[in-house]
Amino acid sequence: MRIDIVTTFPEMFAPLGTSILGKAQERGLIEIRFFNPRDYSKDPHRKTDDVQYGGSEGMVMTAPPLLESVEAAIGGEGRGTYRLILTSPQGGLFDQPMAVELSRCPHLILVCGHYKGVDERFIDLLQPEEISIGDYVLTGGELPAMVIADAVARLLPNVVGGYASVEEDSFGEGLLDCPRYTRPRSVRGLEVPDVLLSGNHSKIAAWRKRMAIEATRRKRPDLLAKYEEIR
* Amino acid 80: pLDDT: 79
Those residues whose C-beta lies under 8 Å from the C-beta of residue 110, and which sit 6 or more positions away, are: 3, 4, 5, 6, 85, 87, 141, 145, 148, 149
* Amino acid 229: pLDDT: 82
| Residue 149: closest CA among 36, 41, 49, 19 | 19
Which amino acid is located at 89 in the chain? P
Task: Kindly report the CATH number that applies to the domain delimited by 2-153.
Answer: 3.40.1280.10
Q: Do domains 2-153 and 168-230 have the same CATH topology?
A: no
Spatial separation of the C-alpha atoms in residues 191 and 185, rounded to whole Å: 6
| Residue 128: closest CA among 201, 191, 71, 203 | 71
pTM of the model: 0.88
Spatial separation of the C-alpha atoms in residues 6 and 73, rounded to whole Å: 8
pLDDT in single tens digits along all 231 residues of the chain = 999 999 999 999 999 999 999 999 999 999 999 999 999 999 999 999 999 999 899 999 999 999 999 999 999 877 779 999 999 999 999 999 999 999 999 999 999 999 999 999 999 999 999 999 999 999 999 999 999 999 999 999 999 976 555 765 656 678 999 999 999 999 999 999 999 999 999 999 999 999 999 999 999 999 998 888 877
Pick the CATH number of 168-230 from 3.40.50.10680, 1.10.1270.20, 3.30.1600.10, 1.25.40.10: 1.10.1270.20
Asked whether the beta carbons of 37 and 46 are under 8 A apart, the reply is no
Q: Residue 162: how many CA atoms within 13 Å on its side-chain side?
A: 4
In the chain, where are the structural domains located? Answer: 2-153, 168-230
Spatial separation of the C-alpha atoms in residues 157 and 163, rounded to whole Å: 7
* Amino acid 163: pLDDT: 57
Q: What is the DSSP secondary structure assignment for residue 94, as one 8-state letter?
A: P
